Amino acid sequence: MPEQRVVDADYLLLEAPRERKFITGAQAMAEAVKRANVDIAIAYPITPQSEVMHLVGDLWAQGYLKDYYRAEEEYGAMSAIAGAVRGGARAFSATSGPGLLRGIEAIASWPGHRIPAVLGVLTRVVNAPLSIQPDNVEIAYLLNCGMVVLHAENQQDVFDFTLASFVISEKVDVYIPVAVCTEGFFVTHAKGYVNMTPEDMKLPPRDPYKAPVPPTDCEIPPARIQRDAPVQKSNFMSYLIHAVWQQEVWSSNIRAMKYIYKYLGGPIEVVNPDAEVFVVASGCAAAQGREAVRYAQMEGLNVGLVKVKSIRPFPEKEIREALSKAKAVIVPEHNIVGWLAREVKAVLPNNDRVIGGPRVYGGMTLPVELIMEKVYDAFGIKKQKKVVV
């Protein structure tokens, strides 16, 4: 293990020299953990997350982490992360599909406990028939937990988002967990070029005194409330405290936006801002949307892309501005429910211009041709279908 020196977070994230490597998404996430001065990682194996946590376990063996263990199952892993963070540690875990759902009761309690942990979500199918194939329907379940949810398009995003997440989640005005999601296999098991910060530099250690709540204390809420669950409705707790507590979690989520601007260049990326028709996509679908923009340019069609990096906080204002003049908005997704299309429809005026699709799921890839079909429809172009026998 090379000796790592602590450098300022802003320097590491924004100014430090970068070296280009050709690595998988799983490696990119582990490389970010290597530079994040993480104290403890806890996980329970599930495909396709296992690759990430194997690599993080290897980091522990090399001395980059103080502790690492395999929990009894996901609920245990996510609960133990909460305990470690309340005790002052910087913690990381990753999960996938059904594992996420098994741990989600604990995960959903993290923001209310003001737990600044980072969770890698390497997505996969959760519906029956059970499968390990890539699909991002599980992100739909994360959206209302209160945590910050980022969606990485490629290996570079995985590295950048993961490293920045440790800094964002520990800002005292945020102090809630961050999920870094990306599609399993398509990103986790495929290689791409990643510009990485030097491996002999790491973030400053977590300062637990910069916390909006005191360290673990079973006498104060929310630990007290959870211990004495029926007491929540008794005479000593007002209902308003529960209401403002939830408001506080979502206020913290909103406050994360300024750091998303600072460290990730903003919650969206806009390609060809003067386009008539836009593809709005996150994660892997954004990569295919980028290809659709290239195809469209070759065919002389004015198509743009809005890549959504931050799903929570959702960039309502930014999306409204970027799409203010769009005639049609195409939202391709890697899931059957169309959670992103719903989000986009909810923030746009005249939302009948939003085309929810194309959608692929169950591990199917998203061919650019499917997006182009929607593009032709939006422009009113009729293409003759060629049948190849």
Q: Which residues bind to other proteins, rule: CB under 8 A?
A: 114, 172-173, 175, 210-214, 219-221, 224-225, 231, 235-238, 240-241, 243-245, 247-248, 250-251, 254-255, 258
Least Å distance, CB 246 to other proteins, is: 10
Least Å distance, CB 231 to other proteins, is: 8
Nearer to other proteins, 231 or 364 (CB): 231
Least Å distance, CB 237 to other proteins, is: 6
Give dist(CA 1, CA 342) in Å, integer.
46
Nearer to other proteins, 190 or 225 (CB): 225
Contact 98, 128 (CB under 8 A): no
Least Å distance, CB 15 to other proteins, is: 20
| Burial environment of residue 191 by CB neighbours within 10 A (0 to 12, 13 to 18, 19 or more) | middle
Least Å distance, CB 170 to other proteins, is: 12
Nearer to other proteins, 72 or 173 (CB): 173
Give dist(CA 117, CA 76) in Å, integer.
15
Buried b (16+ CB within 10 A) or exposed e, 66-102: eebeebeebbbbbbbbbebbbeebbbbbbbbbbbbeb
Least Å distance, CB 93 to other proteins, is: 23
Nearer to other proteins, 1 or 231 (CB): 231
Least Å distance, CB 220 to other proteins, is: 4
Give dist(CA 230, CA 234) in Å, integer.
7
Nearer to other proteins, 112 or 358 (CB): 112
Decide the pairing of beta strands 5-6 and 201-202: parallel
Least Å distance, CB 346 to other proteins, is: 15
Nearer to other proteins, 108 or 172 (CB): 172
Nearer to other proteins, 130 or 243 (CB): 243
CB atoms closer than 10 angstroms to residue 210: 11
Long-range contacts of 66-71 (CB under 8 A, 24+ apart): 66/39, 66/40, 67/39, 67/40, 67/41, 68/40, 68/41, 68/42, 69/42, 70/42, 70/43, 70/44, 70/45, 71/42, 71/43, 71/44
Strands (E) across the chain are located at: 5-6, 19-24, 40-43, 67-70, 91-95, 118-123, 148-151, 178-183, 191-196, 201-202, 268-271, 277-281, 303-308, 310-312, 328-330, 354-355
Nearer to other proteins, 34 or 255 (CB): 255
